[in-house]
Amino acid sequence: MLAFKLIQLDGDMYFKSLKSFNCYKVILIREGKGQVTFDRAKYDFSENCLIRFPIYQPFQIEAEGSLDGILLQFHPDFFWNHKYEMELTSKQVLFKSIGENPLIKISQEEMAQLLYPLDKLLLELNNDRLGRYDIAISWVKIFMIYASRIKMEKGMIPLEALSEVHYIVRELVNAVEENFHRKHRPADYAKLLNVTVKTLNRTAKQHMGKTVGDMISERIITQAKHELYLSDKPVKEIASELGFHDVAYFSRFFKLRADVSPDVYRKSFRQATP
C-alpha cells in the first residue's frame, strides 16, 4: 500500500471489488445518489456529500445509476506520526466517533474548498519534481483540516471531545517525538515527565488506546518505514539512526511489528510503486 491514493470515481465498481480496509478513507460525492451500508445500518447519500471511514471499518457503497466522486485513502504509517497536535485533533474530529453516521452533507462552496487541495495533491502525484512527497502530504493535511472544520462548524462533534487528549498525553507525544531515536523504554519517558510508569501507561491507554511502549514502538516503526520507503540507506544505517546498535535485533524488532523483515518490506514497496 502506497502512502496514499487519490482515486477518481466513475460509478461504484471500485467498492464492489474492495477487499482491504486497512486504510482511512474519505470520499467526496460530487454527483449521484445511493446507499452506504455501515455497521449494519444503511444511509442514503446524494450529491455534495462527504463520507469518511476509519481504518479497518468494513462498508459497502451502492450507487443508483451514475456516480461521480473522488476517494482519498491513506495509511496512518505515512500520515499520522506522533508529532503534530493538529493531526491528533483532526483524527479525533473526523474518525473517533463516526459510528452513528459516516455522511456529512456539504454545500457547493464547501465541496469546492475540499476539492482545491485534492487537485493540488493530484498535480504533485503526477510529477517527479524535488520534494514531491513532502508537498503532497502537506496538501493532504490541508484537506483534513478543511474537512475537520466543516464537521465542527456543522455541530457534528461535541467540543468536549477535543479536550480528551490529556495534557500529560500531549507532553508524552512531544517527548516520544523528540527522543524515540535514543530512548526506547517507558521508564525513560516517565522520568522525563516526572510521573510513574503506571500513571503514564494508564493515561496513554485511556486517551490514546495504547501503552507507552506501544507508542514508542509505533513511532520507531513509522520512522523505519519512512526510511525504507523513501531512501536507499542500508538497513544497518537505519537501525543505528534509530538507536539500535545490533542490526539483527532491529530486524527482529521490525519483523515482529510489521510481519516482514526490513529488506522484504522495502522490496515489496518498490515493486508496488508504479
| DSSP codes of every residue in 33-83 | EEEEEETTEEEEE-SSEEEEE-TT--EEEEEEEEEEEEEEEE-GGGS--SS
Q: What is the pLDDT of residue 92?
A: 66
d(CA 225, CA 110): 35
Instruction: Give mean pLDDT, residues 98-118.
Output: 88
Computed over every residue of the chain, the mean pLDDT equals 83
Q: What is the pLDDT of residue 83?
A: 45
The three cell numbers locating residue 205? 491507554
- Residue-wise pLDDT for 246-271, tens only, equals 999 999 999 998 888 999 988 876 55
- Residue-wise pLDDT for 45-97, tens only, equals 999 999 998 776 778 899 999 999 999 988 766 555 544 444 556 766 777 65
Q: What angle do CA 226, 115, 163 make, to 5 degrees?
A: 65
Q: Cβ(29)–Cβ(51) under 8 Å?
A: yes
- 139-148, 186-195, 203-212: the lowest-pLDDT one: 203-212
DSSP letter at 222 equals H
d(CA 81, CA 208): 13
d(CA 262, CA 239): 10
Q: What is the pLDDT of residue 40?
A: 62
d(CA 82, CA 100): 27
The three cell numbers locating residue 150? 466543516
Q: What is the pLDDT of residue 96?
A: 61
DSSP letter at 97 equals T
Q: Which has the higher per-residue pLDDT, 105 or 210?
A: 105
Q: How confident is the model at residue 110 (pLDDT cuts 50, 70, 90)?
A: very high
Could you give all domains of the chain from N- to C-terminal order, each with its CATH number? 4-160 (2.60.120.280), 165-272 (1.10.10.60)
Instruction: Give mean pLDDT, residues 221-246.
Output: 89
Q: What is the pLDDT of residue 143?
A: 92
pTM for the whole structure: 0.59
Instruction: Give mean pLDDT, residues 136-155.
Output: 86
Q: Cβ(11)–Cβ(71) under 8 Å?
A: no
Residue 237 has pLDDT above 90, yes or no: yes
For residue 31, give every residue at least 6 positions away whose Cβ sits within 8 Å of its Cβ, in sequence order, or none. 47, 66, 67, 68, 69
Q: What is the pLDDT of residue 58?
A: 77
Q: What is the pLDDT of residue 49?
A: 95
